[in-house]
Amino acid sequence: MSVDELAGPVAGAVAHKNLGALVEALALVPVPERPVLVLAGHGTDSGPLAAPAHALGVGGDVRCVGAVPQPELEDLYAAASLLVTATRYE
């Protein structure tokens, strides 16, 4: 994977979506293969994921963008190389 590749879920920052696990998993991906993890959804831009990302050394590879309007969301899906999820339940 090149650094230009995007991965991401679209999920609110709620406990059962388990977004922190995605940040932890990103830290396990070797730098040359690491995509940019885009966290889109209500509450993802409020800060609770940025601190762990920086602590794990992947702060520069995580984008917490918050809620995204529908047209931009479609562009985000189109730009993503892969869609990831760590949701525990729905």
Is the model's pTM score more than 0.85?
A: yes
Would you say how long the chain is, in residues? 90
- How far apart (Å, rounded) are the C-alpha atoms in residues 43 and 62? 15
The tens digit of pLDDT for each residue in 45-88 reads 987 899 999 999 999 999 999 999 999 989 999 999 898 999 99
Helices H, strands E: what count in the chain? 3, 4
- Residue 45 amino acid letter: D
- pLDDT value for 4: 66
- All residues at 6 or more sequence positions from 22 whose CB lies less than 8 Å from its CB, including other chains: 9, 37, 39, 84, 85, 86
The tens digit of pLDDT for each residue in 16-34 reads 999 999 999 999 999 999 9
